[in-house]
Structure 1
């Protein structure tokens, strides 16, 4: 929803949000931090002392947005790559700089209130867990973790250590997903039958073999620290800063990158839990005109995953969410005119009485046909986040200052954890397509995971009908690294 299209009801909701937050803050006695003490609690009069881990690229913009809220001090910076860190070092010259987050937490724990983690996927969990165990509030980039076990443990830890948590799927604070919620609650599309989510990602190499020739490690990069808990492999050119996303040891593919932005709207507004089953098909790469490539270390170039969820009050029955990446898209809705854009990234809700769509982050929500939007008078009932998407960062900082349980957040680990589990369960289906066995006669291989539906046991974190894929539920960390649980 654009600023010019917000009605007076939306503005009123924003004012109510501000008023409620201010009244809540006013209820605390303002005393110095050293008097209060205790884990996960700060005096409202204090600025949040923030440490950033992974401070280049997205990490730099995360810190800038948190700092711009006016209540945080960027006190410490940590990055394994001096080149990537240069922008943040220049922007926050008073911040003390480290390369190893473990040294930073060991030496500076008493001076840190919150930790912002914007590293590659494979190191999210162990950094966040180490910070939470010290009673530090954490803001972690999406996806929350690299594997399902980590997501479950971080969700449990946030409650155990009573710290304020937020995942970096900023669209969860946007106005768009709240408009979708209002439409759904008002019955504009009836009960939801099916949801389609699609993306043009990956925009990095996938479906390839690991390079046979290495490259010199840049002098500014500590490659061993970058690998962290992942298996040791020689450095390869252009892995940093972006192409790691397409390798299973470090990234989570297109689903991990974009799923937290695209699957989040239906997951939230339909009240979903983790899926009960998943199935998929993936795109192939051929090494020559007769032979299909086998690249188990790399995510596939495209995939179509179907996740089944149990019925909720907002769905007609059990719900299917279709995830499509690599340029695959669902059938164009018949309600769209020939020249009306469908979008390269989006979400389509199909209900018993109509359809609605949105873009990445839940942005640009619209009813179908588009002519319905001009006459829409649905009342704004879902509370808005002050600042919308940008308010996602300030929301975390203000909640950390107020203390655990005092301010509601858009994507605390309580909700971000199950969403991340959902996406990583879907990745099990994708990875399962590369599980291969030697044929009984010894001639060649077969791939038993390519044509089955995986049945998920939420309580025990395992697939019940194809055990070989359970190896991806929980990774084995490299010697010397631990999740700390």
Structure 2
């Protein structure tokens, strides 16, 4: 009896200890209070280029509720001022390479919102450190760079997103559902247009050297680009119109306006391209020749091969500088074409549909077709739409590579960017200048269709423009060198 009582006592004490532990082991989120996130559910972010769009990117990433903005980097402390105030605990650097060297063990992901010419070198360096990346559009400055980043995302197994936030809008998903339902038949022609540029293009480089602002590290801003003396008003915005740094209206708006056609039709790589460009007149109406600057307007025609969504080839027209396609007959005289200055038009064998910038406000033509429209939803929507583009990336990073669907991972953004940059090849071909031994000037790239070998990444019938497929970096800068 005594032995049984002792055993019972021991069992009672053991069970009591287990019960006590059950009440004292409290989940960490309860201990932390409302809003607490375990470290495994929080993304630590470093931002490169944190002024302007970079600041809004970081703000919306932070507003996802699962990201901490821990490091900020910008070559210009004037531009960084808003982010520094918004994220006072974040550590600041001017040189992203120093930030990577000193802090790479302390963050999980990187945002890149710098001028186009430095996107690739900063993004690839981050991926080589196994960091997830969010990169502003266009993904890269050159075709070669886009191909490299697309492959690197898969190689390093990092979560990627390009900053064409319209890809997360409902509009592109509606267009896909309507098209898949056969409402406009087989699409064979696309038009996309913009009123950009809203910055100077088609002008000579300023001869007026200016003093570099004390808060700007001009050499770091130039990065991979050839060295030039600083000129006023180039920073923070007007660099877009210069080939050394920007990619013109196509680079600025093309991703926003052509993402929907790419997702609706499963477009990948174009096979041929041709362009006509607007001329400028300068000094007593003399025709301008300024090959360093993007033209004031252009019309580019791209051909894409048949996809699993089409019955034949697809022709895509791009227009900028205020040029627009002819209004569809189905659109009333006073009805808005796109959003006025920008838009995308799909022409099918049985009808037409269009959208605004960012794929927004998708509608069938004539507009009366949208009344009582009832097409089943096939594609999941992104909570928050365009603003949710950022949170979608944060969630994807926390989940890990391949675990969540994203709207614009590099596997989609890379081919889209390449096609836009291929269109720029045709625009730049118009300004390729030759002078023969008798001093006669010619422009052999004008009025020519460029044929593209996608595997070799080269134009096969006009070698002069292949120099723009992969540019030479300034000495001291190399892509992919750790």
TM-score scaled by length of structure 2: 0.90
CA distance in 2, matches of 1:46, 1:480: 38
Q: Which residue of 2 aligns with 1:119?
A: 114
Is 2:137 the counterpart of 1:167? no
Unpaired segments ≥5 residues, structure 2 = 1-26, 29-37
- Which structure 2 residues correspond to residues 55-66 of structure 1 after superposition, within 5 A? 55-66=50-61
Is 2:123 the counterpart of 1:128? yes
Q: Which residue of 2 aligns with 1:14?
A: none
| Displacement after TM superposition at 1:290 (Å) | 5.8
Q: Which residue of 1 aligns with 2:395?
A: 398
CA distance in 2, matches of 1:358, 1:312: 22
One of 267, 272, 282 as aligned partner of 2:267: 272
One of 56, 73, 79 as aligned partner of 1:78: 73
Runs of 4+ in 1 over 2 A off after TM superposition: 43-46, 287-291, 313-316
- Which structure 2 residues correspond to residues 87-166 of structure 1 after superposition, within 5 A? 87-166=82-161
Q: Which residue of 1 aligns with 2:411?
A: 414
Q: Which residue of 2 aligns with 1:191?
A: 186
Aligned residues of 1:44 and 1:402 also touching (Cα < 8 A): no
- Answer with 126-135 or 386-395: which moved more: 386-395
Is 2:47 the counterpart of 1:52? yes
CA distance in 2, matches of 1:396, 1:375: 34
TM-score scaled by length of structure 1: 0.90
Is 2:222 the counterpart of 1:255? no
Q: Which residue of 1 aligns with 2:455?
A: 459
Aligned residues of 1:143 and 1:257 also touching (Cα < 8 A): yes
Aligned residues of 1:44 and 1:401 also touching (Cα < 8 A): no
Show CA shifts across 1:401-457 (max 9, x none): 1111111111111110010001000000000101011146x2431111111100001
| Displacement after TM superposition at 1:291 (Å) | 3.1
Q: How many residue pairs end up in the alignment?
A: 445
Aligned residues of 1:195 and 1:320 also touching (Cα < 8 A): yes
Q: Which residue of 1 aligns with 2:475?
A: 479
CA distance in 2, matches of 1:178, 1:105: 37
Is 2:348 the counterpart of 1:363? no
Q: Which has the larger radius of gyration?
A: 2
One of 331, 344, 349 as aligned partner of 1:347: 344
Q: Which residue of 2 aligns with 1:334?
A: 329
Q: Which residue of 2 aligns with 1:308?
A: 303
| Displacement after TM superposition at 1:375 (Å) | 2.5
> Matched residue of 2:282: which SS?
coil
Q: Which residue of 1 aligns with 2:177?
A: 182
| Displacement after TM superposition at 1:338 (Å) | 1.1
Is 2:466 the counterpart of 1:470? yes
Unpaired segments ≥5 residues, structure 1 = 1-29, 32-42
> Matched residue of 2:274: which SS?
strand
| Displacement after TM superposition at 1:292 (Å) | 1.4
Is 2:361 the counterpart of 1:375? no
Show CA shifts across 1:234-258 (max 9, x none): 0000001100000000000000000
CA distance in 2, matches of 1:327, 1:214: 32
